[in-house]
């Protein structure tokens, strides 16, 4: 059992016995003892003074004596200004390590048919451009969140909503019609999403030129931006598409098909997947039906130009357009339809949207609109809001082509991993195929860890070189620690040393050994907290702390050259549990662990 759960029970018994008072768990504050003090777990005594009616030091001493005499786990205590530092017995730590050694997926829970069902939406790409660095953070956060929820015994549906319709899609289509000269991915040798993205950039360039020309002949900027010929064509094409014009639909299907093939390659290389994909070209129809129902029922209203709006002032929000004057829908309309389809398709207990913090207001509006439409789950939607990834040069702009392309970044990361590993003399004993696969794992591990170790709510600056550092708080450092342990275990196996159970080890533990076990013991708690707070960063930084603690132990103590057979076997088991825990923890981040580095 978790040491804190054991102590909670023992401390409640102590309070009842000493002060004839009953308390609840929330009144008991336990924390890890600071490294500059003796002890393992510290009880903050101040909240208990109203029960003891004694000074802090005396209360701590009373409780410490009681626990030392009556708790099987506590063997010693000391008091520092109202803080009770408890030393936990080696028998407990050894028992905990033995439990972790025997449990294949220590620290995680398995979902059952009766477990809650959570749907997580992430990625949400537009089919007018390839995935970029911002999409990478979205995909990595979404995928990791799903894995963490599953590790907490929750059933998860990983879903993607593809933005495959709208004026932005039509801009790429118009550009291809006007300047494409029949180009295809096959004829150009380009990934389909890249080719279509180039036409989106081309549209913006030509559109800006047209606006400038109209302004030169005296047209106001706002009018010029509306009447630029390319934009007029894009709007006309959108109307044709919504009217199911055969030529418009054929071109849309062809260009989207190119993009999907490109996306599939990027998703595979990034190591993310989905259980269910929705398309806005389907969901916007359902959304329009819901908006029109809301209009009929007086929930929404229509302006003189026939556009449909929602008045959300009662919820301290603004007026929101739902259908344009020409009858075409907006993002909000299709999000209403998507939500309805999802709850019809699955018995969802919770819906989580992994979307950047620039859309905070959007999701407040969506939840309010769904509630107004009478969907009981409307207000229960959760927006997993995360910060933007920025570059030294500032924010990325897709329409101007100023982005870090996801495919280019992945290739660059692999090349940086190759160069740095070769400079350090790593992987020299591997075959070319093994080395290339290891470079891939290091590169992706570096990328994923660098992004996921940051609090999701914060903006971050991405630096490829810094991420592939084999020292410090990086993915490669943790991967190298894992590979080092696997190397030690292979040598032990070659020497005929079996790892079956902790036996023969006396109750004494070296301080460094105990510190490693204490770090291992926190894994279930960290997994639980990461699932509760939706924070992959907790898992990432835990893995770093465990790897760092093990390396300090490894530096100070021999494993295979330990003098006593029992000590050698014990340290091998300790090392194996560290490796397994690192592998399990990093897998929750979508990171693979190389066996050799």
By mean pLDDT, which of 440-444, 463-467, 469-473, 550-554 is the weakest?
Answer: 463-467
List the structure tokens of 482. Answer: 């894992």
What is the torsion angle, in degrees rounded to the nearest 10, for the CA atoms of residue 396, residue 399, residue 400 and residue 406?
A: 50
Q: Is the pLDDT of residue 399 over 70?
A: no
As to burial, measured by CB atoms within 10 angstroms (0-12 exposed, 13-18 middle, 19+ buried), residue 153 is middle
Q: Is the pLDDT of residue 398 over 70?
A: no
The upper half-sphere exposure of residue 218, i.e. CA atoms within 13 Å in the direction of its Cβ, equals 0
- Phi, psi for 132 (deg, rounded to 5): -125, -170
What pLDDT, on a 0 to 100 scale, did the predictor assign at position 498? Answer: 79
**What is the assigned CATH class of domain 413-587?**
mainly alpha
* Residue with the larger pLDDT of the pair 560 and 145: 145
Residue 161 pairs in a beta bridge with: 278
pTM across the whole model: 0.91
Q: Is the pLDDT of residue 397 over 50?
A: no
What pLDDT, on a 0 to 100 scale, did the predictor assign at position 94? Answer: 93
Reported as type and span, the H/E element at residue 364 is helix 360-372
- Please choose, from the candidates 588, 583, 521, 565, the residue with its C-alpha nearest in 3D space to the C-alpha of residue 99: 521
What pLDDT, on a 0 to 100 scale, did the predictor assign at position 395? Answer: 47
What pLDDT, on a 0 to 100 scale, did the predictor assign at position 425? Answer: 75
Q: How far apart are CA 574 and CA 473, in angstroms?
A: 22
Q: What's the mean pLDDT in 148-165?
A: 97
Q: How far apart are CA 88 and CA 76, in angstroms?
A: 7
Question: pLDDT tens digits for 501-541?
Answer: 665 455 578 999 999 999 999 999 999 999 999 999 999 99
Local confidence band at 463 (pLDDT 50, 70, 90 cut-offs): confident
Beta strands in 13-108 (DSSP E): 29-32, 41-44, 74-80, 83-88
Domain boundaries defined on the chain: 3-88, 122-400, 413-587
Distance of CA 495 to the CA centre of its chain: 41
Q: How far apart are CA 414 and CA 134, in angstroms?
A: 19
Q: How far apart are CA 245 and CA 6, in angstroms?
A: 69
What pLDDT, on a 0 to 100 scale, did the predictor assign at position 503? Answer: 56
The upper half-sphere exposure of residue 308, i.e. CA atoms within 13 Å in the direction of its Cβ, equals 23
Distance of CA 289 to the CA centre of its chain: 34
Q: Is the pLDDT of residue 162 over 50?
A: yes
Residues of the chain with pLDDT > 90, as a percent, come to: 82
Q: Is the pLDDT of residue 10 over 80?
A: yes
Reported as type and span, the H/E element at residue 352 is strand 350-356
Reported as type and span, the H/E element at residue 255 is helix 246-270
3-class secondary structure, 355: strand
Q: Which fold has domain 122-400?
A: Rossmann fold (3.40.50)
Return all residues near 215 (Cβ < 8 A) that are at least 6 apart.
Answer: 221, 224
What is the torsion angle, in degrees rounded to the nearest 10, for the CA atoms of residue 216, residue 220, residue 222 and residue 223?
A: -90
Q: Which fold has domain 3-88?
A: Gyrase A; domain 2 (3.30.1360)
Question: pLDDT tens digits for 278-303?
Answer: 999 999 999 999 999 999 999 999 99
């Amino acid at each position: 059992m978790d040491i804190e759960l054991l102590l909670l029970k023992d401390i409640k018994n102590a309070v009842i016995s000493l002060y004839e008072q009953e308390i609840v768990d929330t009144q008991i504050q336990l924390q890890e003892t600071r490294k500059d003090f003796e002890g393992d777990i510290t009880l903050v005594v101040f909240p208990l003074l109203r029960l003891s009616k004694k000074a802090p030091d005396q209360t701590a001493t009373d409780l410490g004596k009681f626990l030392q005499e009556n708790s099987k786990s506590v063997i010693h205590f000391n008091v520092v200004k109202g803080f009770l530092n408890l030393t936990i017995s080696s028998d407990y730590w050894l028992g905990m390590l033995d439990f972790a050694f025997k449990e294949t997926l220590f620290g995680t829970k398995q979902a059952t048919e009766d477990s809650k069902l959570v749907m997580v939406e992430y990625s949400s790409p537009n089919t007018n451009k390839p995935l970029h660095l911002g999409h990478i953070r979205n995909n990595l956060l979404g995928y990791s969140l799903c894995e963490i929820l599953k590790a907490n015994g929750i059933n998860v549906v990983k879903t993607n909503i593809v933005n495959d319709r709208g004026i932005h899609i039509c801009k790429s289509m118009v550009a291809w019609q006007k300047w494409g000269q029949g180009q295809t991915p096959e004829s150009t040798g380009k990934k389909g999403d890249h080719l279509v993205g180039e036409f989106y950039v081309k549209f913006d360039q030509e559109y800006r030129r047209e606006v400038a020309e109209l302004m030169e002949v005296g047209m106001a900027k706002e009018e010029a931006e509306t009447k630029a010929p390319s934009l007029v064509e894009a709007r006309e094409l959108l109307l044709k598409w919504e009217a199911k014009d055969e030529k418009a639909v054929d071109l849309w299907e062809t260009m989207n098909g190119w993009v999907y093939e490109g996306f599939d390659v990027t998703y595979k290389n990034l190591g993310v997947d989905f259980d269910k994909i929705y398309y806005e070209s389907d969901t916007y129809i359902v959304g329009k039906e819901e908006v029109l129902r809301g209009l009929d029922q007086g929930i929404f209203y229509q302006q003189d130009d026939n556009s449909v709006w929602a008045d959300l002032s009662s919820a301290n929000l603004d007026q929101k357009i739902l259908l344009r004057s020409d009858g075409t829908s907006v993002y909000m309309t299709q999000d209403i339809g998507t939500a309805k389809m999802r709850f019809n398709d699955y018995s969802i207990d919770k819906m989580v949207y992994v979307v950047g913090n620039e859309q905070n207001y959007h999701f407040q509006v969506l939840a309010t609109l769904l509630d107004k439409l009478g969907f009981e789950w409307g207000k229960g939607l959760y927006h997993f809001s995360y910060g933007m990834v920025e570059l030294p040069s500032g924010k990325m702009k897709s329409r101007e082509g100023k982005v870090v392309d996801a495919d280019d970044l992945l290739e660059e990361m692999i090349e940086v991993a190759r160069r740095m590993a070769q400079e350090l003399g790593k992987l020299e004993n591997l075959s070319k195929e093994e080395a290339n696969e290891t470079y891939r794992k290091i590169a992706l591990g570096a990328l994923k860890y660098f992004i996921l170790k940051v609090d999701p709510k914060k903006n971050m600056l991405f630096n490829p070189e810094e991420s592939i550092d084999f020292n410090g708080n990086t993915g490669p450092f943790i991967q190298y620690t894992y590979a080092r342990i696997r190397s030690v275990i292979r040598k032990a196996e070659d020497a005929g040393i079996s790892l079956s159970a902790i036996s023969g080890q006396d109750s004494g533990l070296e301080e460094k050994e105990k510190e490693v076990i204490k770090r291992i013991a926190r894994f279930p708690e960290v997994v639980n907290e990461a699932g509760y707070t939706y924070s992959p960063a907790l898992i990432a930084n835990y893995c770093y702390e465990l790897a760092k603690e093990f390396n300090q132990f490894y530096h100070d103590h021999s494993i295979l050259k330990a003098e006593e057979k029992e000590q050698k076997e014990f340290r091998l088991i300790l090392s194996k549990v560290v490796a397994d825990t690192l592998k399990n923890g990093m897998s929750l981040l979508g990171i693979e662990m190389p066996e050799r580095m």
